[in-house]
Amino acid sequence: MQKLKNDILKLLNENARYTFAQMAAMLGEKEQTVENAVKELENDGVIVKYAAILNTEAMSGSSVQALIEVKVAPRKLKGFDSCAEEIYSFPEVQSLYLMSGGFGLAVFIEGKSLSDIAKFVAEKLSVIDGIIGCQTHFILKKYKIEGQIAVKGEEIKRQIIQA
């Protein structure tokens, strides 16, 4: 059953729009068996959400995205979790990860402008108890998103400079 679930996860990661019938045919299983396995994966929290992967650069009305490395002093008896809970409650936060290295948390956020991101850092993030430093990195261009190449067919042109 675990091999079947792993195979289903690979298929859904490739294309979340596959139907139970399509996956069953590809895996040589009964449709009901695949459907039951998917429901178990959902109930167990393995499948968290089905979503389209968007290239926001190709969309009109694009937004600004940033990675913020956050240095955190773990709270007594609560560690990083209580700080993380405060951060992920903000709607601007798209993803939040506990990291190894110099910074404790990696926060991916989205805003309408650079000033929206700056305001978020200054007024929401930096005032949380336990945060002792932030380093913001703005995403300038996306070449690959969630395993998918985002610049298909786009030729990268560089100016030739001779010395």
Query: Could you tell me which residues are beta bridge partners of residue 53?
Result: none
Q: Does 130 fall in a domain?
A: yes
Q: Does 25 fall in a domain?
A: yes
Is residue 74 domain-shared with residue 139, that is, in the same domain?
yes
**What is the distance between the alpha carbons of residues 59 and 118, in angstroms, rounded to a whole number?**
23
Range list of H helices, 61-160: 81-88, 114-119
Q: For 146-160, write each residue's pLDDT tens digit.
A: 887 887 665 556 677
Looking at residue 157, its pLDDT comes to 65
CB 72 within 8 A of CB 132: yes
Is residue 29 domain-shared with residue 68, that is, in the same domain?
no
Q: Does 29 fall in a domain?
A: yes
Range list of H helices, the chain: 2-14, 20-27, 31-43, 81-88, 114-119
Looking at residue 11, its pLDDT comes to 93
Is residue 13 domain-shared with residue 89, that is, in the same domain?
no
What is residue 109's three-state secondary structure?
A: strand
Amino acid type, 145: I
Range of the domain at 121: 58-143
C-alpha 17, offset from chain centre: 19
Structural domains counted in the chain? 2
Is residue 22 domain-shared with residue 81, that is, in the same domain?
no
Taking only the tens of pLDDT, the chain with its 163 residues reads: 899 999 999 999 888 999 999 999 999 999 999 999 999 999 999 999 888 777 777 777 778 999 999 999 887 878 889 999 999 999 999 999 999 988 999 999 999 999 999 999 999 999 999 999 999 999 998 888 888 788 766 555 667 777 6
Q: For 76-89, write each residue's pLDDT tens digit.
A: 878 889 999 999 99
Is residue 32 domain-shared with residue 75, that is, in the same domain?
no
Task: Return the CA Rg of the chain.
Answer: 21
* Tokens linked to 1: 């059953």
* CATH, residue 138: 3.30.70.920
Is residue 28 domain-shared with residue 70, that is, in the same domain?
no
